[in-house]
Amino acid sequence: MLKQMKPQIEYLLRKHPCLRDDDFLLIGMVYHTYYGIGYDKSFLDVMKHHKEYGLPSFETIRRTRQKVQEENPSLESSKAKKKERQIAFNEFYQFAKS
């Protein structure tokens, strides 16, 4: 699924730069653009029926975004967002070590 999603994510990151810094917005746009999930659906409905709708997981979309950004420096997140993600990673790393 990652290879299939890669061009989709890359397209969205190029077309909508604000998606580079916000995974929730990116997930919403992926679901809306490629899976026909309208904004009229509630979050609960989408979560309850995600398999029925054939939706990729949040983590699949996040990992694909990360891979696309690694391979395309022009699509990187803002410096502030990269710093925020590094801090979160470090906090998780410290938690996992304990």
Q: pLDDT of the chain along its 98 residues, tens only? A: 667 899 999 999 999 999 999 999 999 999 999 999 988 999 999 999 999 999 999 999 999 999 999 999 999 887 777 778 788 878 887 888 88
**Phi-psi category of 41—alpha, beta or left, where left has phi over 0 and alpha has psi -120 to 50?**
beta
Query: Contact at 8 Å (CB) between 97 and 32?
Result: no
How many helices and strands, by DSSP H and E, does the chain display?
Answer: 6, 0
The rounded distance, in Å, linking the Cα atoms of 38 and 78 is 28
- Quote the pTM value: 0.80
CB atoms within 10 A of CB 69: 18
